Amino acid sequence: MSFSINAAFDSGNIRLIGITGDRVDLEIVKDHQSDFYQWFYFRVAGAAGRRLTFRILNAGGSAYPFGWPGYRTRASTDRKAWHTVDTRYADGVLEFDWPGGAAAGDAATSDGQIVWFAYFAPYTMEQHADLVARIAARPGVRHRELGTSLDGQAIDCFDIGTGPKSVWLYARQHPGESMAEWWMEGALDWLTSAAAAPLLEAATVHVVPNMNPDGTRRGHLRTNAAGVNLNREWHAPTPERSPEVLCVRNAMDETGVNFAMDVHGDEAIAANFIAGFEGVPSWTERRGNLFVEFGQRLAAHTPDFQTALGYEKSQPGRANLSMSTNQLAERFGAVSVTLEMPFKDHDANPDPAFAWSPERSAKLGVSCLEVLSEMIGDL
């Protein structure tokens, strides 16, 4: 029986190069008008009972090839449970296997006729629409459409709470970092529960679950429909290049910002960590100490966070103000945080079957807000 490869769906990305027996050669498609690529998501029909080997031939030229060593591809036969499968990287080629049925430990049997593979468990625009509908219907939630993307998609925002402090949570500036919207799902479920009452009395929380709907639908790694990296637009966003950033930043100008969290995924570091705003001209020791305290409290709160690994800090006065975390710290005097989650696993407490997963991403969203609730009075 023959099999077929297809990525012509919401968030899909792959190009078939050739099939030789049970070996499939592929390439990841670049973001539109950009050289960035790394995100892949495709399905294989007719896979039942076949052991297949897939080779992504252009992996070595991807945006972050140093992220491939130690990485494990995600696979699913139901698009709900995303297990890891054996993956190797050598000589610029990423290679992974489908064992002929169940991905490691999956309850699915070899009778499964279709299997999906992805860089990380996808969070598509259809899933986003379901999330928006579900959260908007809950008591106390105010929904706004802040603007539209270059492709005309809505930039959705939820306003929750009545407190005087202003908190902004936003995710998926880089659309291939799908764990960021899984984090948002956990955060929004918590924010609409009774547990959030103390935080919502102290603060109004503004949530933008997806900053880059065009890149999400198109299957991009890092850019919008114009090939623009939104997290380099915050100093001077324009309607022509980055309307997504412009409408969000305009809304922030109306409310001010006391605390902000920009949610991302990191290709190389096998851990959850935060990055801050050390190099902004307006940096103060008080705000710096609050940033450090947030990380320390989060590490004490959950084993799925740590503070030993992370990015190199900017030197004083050398922060890149085109990046949102730095721009918001400088513009509003905010305690501004970038959260990074891994495409690999959180190696301090790894999961061999699932690695870092949607479920763990959602739980980390809850943990972050529980810590913020404890600290909101000091911000």
pLDDT, tens only, 248-307: 999 999 999 999 999 999 999 999 999 999 999 999 999 999 999 999 999 999 999 999
Cα separation, 329 vs 314, in Å, equals 14
Please report how the helices 358-375 and 179-191 are oriented relative to each other, as an axis angle in degrees rounded to 10: 50
Quickly count helices (H) and strands (E) in the chain: 8, 17
Model pLDDT for residues 329-356, shown as the tens digit of each residue: 999 999 999 999 999 999 999 999 999 9
Task: Give the pLDDT confidence score for residue 111 in this predicted structure.
Answer: 53
Can you say how many angstroms the Cα of residue 200 is from the centroid of all Cα atoms in its chain?
25
pLDDT, position 99: 86
DSSP state of 194: G
pLDDT of residue 104: 43
212-235 pLDDT, tens digit per residue, is: 999 999 999 999 999 999 999 999
CATH topology (fold) of 4-118: Immunoglobulin-like (2.60.40)
Computed on alpha carbons and rounded to an integer, the radius of gyration of the chain in Å comes to 21
Distance CA(261)–CA(251), nearest Å, equals: 15
DSSP, res 267:
S
- Looking at this protein, which amino acid is placed at residue 215? G
Is residue 216 within 8 A of residue 118, CB to CB? The reply is: no
Catalytic residue set: 340
Place of tokens 């945006």: 63
- Give 216's contacts (C-beta < 8 A, 6+ positions apart): 11, 123, 124, 125, 128, 172, 175, 178, 210
* Contact present, 335 and 291 (Cβ < 8 Å): yes
Q: Give percent of the chain with pLDDT exceeding 70.
A: 97
Angle ∠(100,73,66) on CA atoms, nearest 5: 145
Average pLDDT, the chain: 96
Q: List, for residues 36-92, the tens digit of each pLDDT value.
A: 999 999 999 998 888 999 999 999 999 999 999 999 999 999 999 999 999 999 999
The two most distant CA atoms of the chain are separated, in Å, by: 66
Domain extents in the chain = 4-118, 125-378
Say if residues 168 and 253 touch (Cβ distance below 8 Å): no
Burial class (CB in 10 A: 0-12, 13-18, 19+), 96: buried
For position 1, what pLDDT does the model report? 56
Q: What is the CATH number that goes with domain 125-378?
A: 3.40.630.10
> Hey, which bits of the chain come out as E strands?
4-6, 15-20, 23-27, 41-45, 52-56, 73-76, 83-85, 87-90, 93-98, 114-118, 141-148, 154-160, 165-171, 203-208, 259-266, 273-275, 335-342
Which ranges of 137-284 does DSSP label H, i.e. alpha helix? 179-191, 197-202, 213-218, 243-255
- Structure token digits, residue 239: 């309607």
Residues 188 and 196: beta-carbon distance below 8 Å:
no
Q: Which amino acid is at 263?
A: V
User: Is pTM beyond 0.95 here?
Assistant: yes
pLDDT value for 341? 98
Q: How far is CA 130 from CA 89, 192, 202, 238, in A?
A: 36, 16, 29, 29
The amino acid sitting at 104 is: A
Phi, psi dihedral angles at 275 (to 5 degrees)? -125, 150
The two tokens of residue 330 are 């400088």
Of 212, 217, 171, 118, the C-alpha closest to 340 is 171
